[in-house]
Chains A and B, each alone.
Chain A
Amino acid sequence: MAASSTFWRDAWLIAGFDLRESIRTRRALVLALLYLLVASITSYIYVEVVKFAEEATAEVVAGISDTGEKVAAAAAAGAAQGAGYTGLLYVIAGGDQQIAGHLATYPPMVLVFAWLSLGALPWLIALTSYDLVAGDLHLRTVRFVALRASRGAFVLGKLLSQVLLVALIAGLGMLPVLLIGSAYLPRFDVLDSLLALLRAWPILALFAFAVLGPVACASQLVRGPGAARFLAIFFLSVLWIVGVWALFTPAPLSLLRWLTPFAYKTQFFHPDLLHRLMNAAGCIALCAGYAWIGFQVFRRRDL
């Protein structure tokens, strides 16, 4: 019991220290800027699409003199745009009507931001967290910790720090959505969007767990940061291909998609809370599984 509490205390201490160290690095700044860029571009594109749709509607309506017809045309254009959006939601939901319905409860701008963030996160994480263990091995910084904490606590602490870092940066990425939305969209509901962003925030953090699993595995398998980066990108690429392949494969092989982080993305938007919680647990289990595989090498490794 005492050993267990020591383990968690150590992991938490390592996570806190590593997070404080990480957020002061140039790499964290680059990650934050990249993320802000993704968020800003996403928001800007959304604003342009909305403007384009409104202008198109206005153009159609302007050519009509009769007021009743104007109203009808505007309604028809709105319905067409709505149908297009619903179709898009259906595609994002992978054909799952329940999920598509739940997606519709998010303000469109927030949804677009969350969805593109989920798409960008794996590659941003692969490019920034690849050396979470390999970096310390390479510089032998791990030796200062290895006399004071177990290797398991070390890896867990490093993992948690990266999840917290991603959560922080994802939180930062919400600012451009609110700023651009409120500046350029007259009907933008700031409060509603803020609440929706706060709903999306844990999704990003939990999804980060799923992605960090293979990345942490790669980082424990090799000593050099360069090799760890290559391996992390390779693992994620292979998992992405497996995920796509499994989608078009009959059962039971299609179940292989659950071994990839990408399968968990859509399920975070399921209307059933229990389903979402199971999905979150799946992300953590996936992280634990891949990190454990890497740990089997790391725990025997000469430091």
Chain B
Amino acid sequence: MTALALALGGVHKRFGAVHALRGVDLRVPRGSVFALIGPNGAGKTTLFSVVCGFLRADQGQVSVLDGTPEVERFKGRLSALPQDAVLGRELTVREHLTFLGRLQGMSQETAKREAERVLAIVDLGELAGRRAGTLSHGQIKRVGVAQAFLGDPELILLDEPTAGLDPRHAHDLREALRGHRGRRTIVVSSHNLQELEAICDEAAFIDKGQTLESGAVSALTAQDAEIFVVLAAGPEPIDVVRARLGDARVEWEPQPRVLRVSFQPGPDRAAEDVIADVLRELLAQGARVSGVGKGRSLEQRYLEATR
């Protein structure tokens, strides 16, 4: 059985008349980079807040690092980038981070070293001596991300970490998250699904306060059970391919000119084998192939799940 960093069962949270979480179920394996995907108002930030203990669930089970969400257990083990929290304005970035490091139990010296280390992750080393109140929105966001890496905690929750970052820093952050794969559990929420697909092992779709689907990204995007071929203008031998593949489901989307093939994977039938079969048949019929791939994008799956 996979060890879990986070397990939520039937979690509800209401804010007066607003029912923000309506029975969320979530299982985040240890060591995974986990994507929390959903539209605005889906309940992602509320969910993060419940896991951190900022909000108390009205109903349901919440297990974080094998226990209830309590700060006494979290200290130095869990960190988060809260979406809309603001740092004090008057002290320097270094002072803020050193203070937070010390609250995690570090000595003054260790906390200072850690502050420099995490600032390097977000490329803010030069601004360590700047007052937090003088930073730009993007720089504040990067300091927020940096504090989440203080002490290399077991579980890191990042709510929209790349929102407001320029492309280069967003890329650097993605690389940093990728670097933690397998070592630390990271839960990320973002609207950038391409970004999530590139860095995450697992994902969950959340909408209207409910979990719609969750699992390994490869399974959600059917990487092993679906292939697609994009055809250029010319012959469309869809029926021939359908007849050739037998039990596989073949769909043709005329507008983007995409041929999709869903199949039951097996020891003798990997996605690569199906791609070879389909291409052979298409080329034999004179079709012009302009692209090939496996599975569906996370975005497509998300759109289907939330339709």
Contacts and interface: CB of A to CB of B under 8 A. Distances in A.
Contacts of B87: 141, 144
B53 interface: yes
A13 B56 contact: no
B71 A147 contact: yes
A148 B104 CA distance: 6
Nearest to A16: B99
Give the bracket for the number of chain B residues in contact with chain A: 20 to 34
A303 B88 contact: no
Contacts of B79: 147
A274 interface: no
Interface string B185-227: 0000000000000000000000000000000000000000000
A21 to B, nearest CB: 5
Given A17-B91, A21-B90, A149 B103 contact: yes
A144 B82 contact: yes
A293 interface: no
Interface in B223-273: none
A13 B84 contact: no
Contacts of A66: none
B55 to A, nearest CB: 5
Q: Which has the most chain B C-beta neighbours within 10 Å: A6, A147, A303?
A: A147
A141 B86 contact: yes
B99 A140 contact: no
Interface in B73-128: 74-76, 78-80, 82, 84-88, 90-91, 95, 99-100, 102-105
Nearest to A139: B86
A145 interface: yes
Contacts of B95: 17, 20
Interface residues of A, number: 26
Contact of A13 (B75, B82, B99): B99
B20 to A, nearest CB: 11
Contacts of A3: 72
B117 to A, nearest CB: 17
Interface string B54-77: 111000000000000001101110
Interface string A134-177: 00000111111111111100000000000000000000000000
B282 to A, nearest CB: 55
Nearest to A26: B90
Contacts of A145: 100, 103
B82 A149 contact: no
Given A20-B91, A147-B78, A148-B103, 4 more contacts: A17-B91, A25-B90, A139-B85, A147-B71
